[in-house]
Amino acid sequence: MTTTARAQGATIWLTGLPSAGKTTIARLLGDRLKGGGLRTEVLDGDEIRRFLSAGLGFSKEDRDTNVRRIGLVSEVLARNGVLSVVPVIAPYAVSRAAVRERHQRNGVPYIEVHVATPVEVCSERDVKGLYARQAAGELSGLTGVDDPYEPPVDPDLVLRTQEQTPRQSADAVYALLVERGLV
Ligand SMILES: Nc1ncnc2c1ncn2[C@@H]1O[C@H](COP(=O)(O)OS(=O)(=O)O)[C@@H](OP(=O)(O)O)[C@H]1O
Ligand SMILES: Nc1ncnc2c1ncn2[C@@H]1O[C@H](COP(=O)(O)OP(=O)(O)O)[C@@H](O)[C@H]1O
């Protein structure tokens, strides 16, 4: 088989706070990529926590392990020609750097998108009710509230979703992929 630019995979990692918009954007982007006939996977963080990362919690160590595992799965997919979209918080810079470095070492494209929705907006959206539960004292260690989120220092793209529709956010990621010759 001849390798063409269109057969090149990549990891597209969407990092950000709970309710920032990662899943919504990943699904819209995934649908658009699949609709264009491209091999695409959206790695669902919740599903991974049920299986591959079953038993892991939300300590720094467990989150790091979770992110590195997902990074490896995504890299394997990407080096086999899949556009792998990863909507996972990945709160620690060191974990994200480890995933990026592995990709770079192995020549696999890696795109980091910061879904940079402010915590005030995320807590208003509160899709899963986590912010309310934290405020009610029913949950602790919520990313961005009483657990760290280290914002990416040099992401490939920053999305200010509070100023965009979900479609506009997904289109911005798609445009970056076009610019990088990945679609
Ligand atoms: N304490 C705490 N902090 C953050 N998130 C929490 C927590 N407890 C449960 N959840 C839910 O689990 C989802 C986060 O899983 P991730 O695998 O993306 O997180 S991590 O990268 O390992 O930190 C995350 O999903 P999203 O809301 O889609 O981001 C939450 O719904
Ligand atoms: N520009 C945008 N991009 C993504 N989501 C948005 C945007 N504007 C509003 N939203 C809304 O924010 C919520 C984000 O939820 P979700 O995608 O589950 O977040 P996360 O996966 O980061 O926890 C959804 O209800 C979505 O409709």
pLDDT in tens, 33-69: 999 999 999 998 889 999 999 999 999 999 999 999 9
Note whether 123 and 131 are within 8 A (CB): yes
Could you give the 3-state DSSP secondary structure of residue 162?
helix
Q: Whose CA is nearest to atom 24 of ligand 2?
A: 21
Q: Whose CA is nearest to atom 30 of ligand 1?
A: 18
CA of 3 to the centre of ligand 2 (A): 36
Q: At 128, which amino acid appears?
A: K
Residue-wise pLDDT tens digits, 67-112: 999 999 999 999 999 999 999 999 999 999 999 999 999 999 999 9
Q: Whose CA is nearest to atom 13 of ligand 1?
A: 46
Ligand-binding site membership of 23 (annotated)? yes
Residue with tokens 């998108």: 113
Please write down the HEC assignment for all residues of 67-134: HHHHHHHHHHHHHCCCEEEEECCCCCHHHHHHHHHHHHHCCCCEEEEEECCCHHHHHHHCCCCHHHHH
DSSP single-letter state for residue 43: -
Question: Is ipTM over 0.95?
Answer: yes
Tokens representing residue 57 in the block: 């919690």
CATH 3.40.50.300 fits 10-118+149-177, yes or no: yes
* Ligand nearest to the CA of residue 88, numbered in listed order: 1
Ligand-binding site membership of 144 (annotated)? no
